[in-house]
Structure 1
Amino acid sequence: MICRREGPQARLWSRNALNWTQRLPRIAGGLLELPCRSCVLDGEAVVQLPDGRDDFHALRSAAGARNAMLMAFDLLELDGRDLRALPLEERRAELRRLVEAGPVDGVAFVDAIDEDGEALFRHACRLGLEGIISKRRDSPYRSGRSQAWLKSKCAGYVRHGEQ
């Protein structure tokens, strides 16, 4: 999900270019709490279950969508500065400072785990998660698929609520 704040307005766009601003009011409100004039964040909208897992299926319901949070993992623009050419590591450092500057409801910074990818993937699958995303720390931002990132899905993953 791409989330844009420009002054007092927030806009949320799905990967399929659908406007989700009205559907996800908690995230839109959280963007307006960030200490900046403008920003563009990349992240995943999720509804968290009591056990800490994410329930993507819940986004389909109005009640679930109202409680969704943005798990932010990249910062593309901040106060008019285009950050896309910077290495991921630098963009994430800026994102952490922005999100953690004060309490923000609806937007959370997603920590990166710099560990053995194969072991982390196996652990994610044992926990019943969908999978992991691996990104090169030194890569600039590129929309769409690229050699700089890899999505690894767990075999047999079933979204919560589906059988």
Structure 2
Amino acid sequence: MICRRADSESRLWSRNALNWTGRHPRIATGLLSLPCGSCVIDGEAVVQLPDGRDDFHALRSAAGGRHAILMAFDLLELDGRDLRPLPLDERRAELQRLLAAPVDGIAFVDAMAEQGEALFRHACALGLEGIISKRRDSPYRSGRSPTWLKSKCPGYVRHG
């Protein structure tokens, strides 16, 4: 999901360019509380179960969507500055500073450098969908790219 804040307005867009602002008001409101005038954040909307798994059925429902939070993993623009050409590590450092104070509806996703295989096994053991691996020195590219890899757990079953 791409989340854009411009002054006092926020917009949420799905990967298929659907406007999800009304579906996820908690995320939209969280964007407005960030300490900036404008930003564009890349992340994943989730409704988490008590055991940490995502509840995709709840995410699709109107009631569940109101409880969704944004798991933020990349910052593409900040106060009019295009961050996409910067390496991922630099963009994530800016994102972490932006989210230094807790924001209801938005959470910073920690990176687990150099623990990919163990993290993947752990994600699969927890019943999660998988993990995303990105080159730390790569600029942002929308869509599929050779600089990132989605590793899905064998036998993953979507709940809901």
In the superposition, the TM-score normalised over structure 1's length comes to 0.96
Aligned-CA RMSD value? 0.8
Match of 1:95 in 2: 95
Structure-2 separation of matches of 1:132 and 1:146: 15
Cα-to-partner distance string for 1:112-154 (whole Å, 9 max, x where unaligned): 0013322221221111110000000000000001110000001
Following superposition of structure 1 onto structure 2, how do residues 9-158 of structure 1 map, counting pairs within 5 Å? 9-100=9-100, 102-158=101-157
Over 4 Å off, 4+ runs: none
Unmatched 5+ residue regions in structure 2? Answer: none
SS at match of 2:74: strand
Helix, strand or coil: the match of 1:155?
coil
Amino acid at match of 2:16: N
Q: Which secondary structure state, in structure 2, belongs to the residue aligned with residue 11 of structure 1? A: strand
Kindly provide the CA deviation profile for residues 84-122 of structure 1, in whole angstroms up to 9, marking residues without a partner as x.
00000000000000012x221000000000133222212
Identity between Structure 1 and Structure 2 (%) = 82
| Unaligned segments of structure 1, at least 5 residues | none
Q: TM-score, normalised by structure 2?
A: 0.97
Q: 2:65, 2:118 → 1: CA distance? A: 33
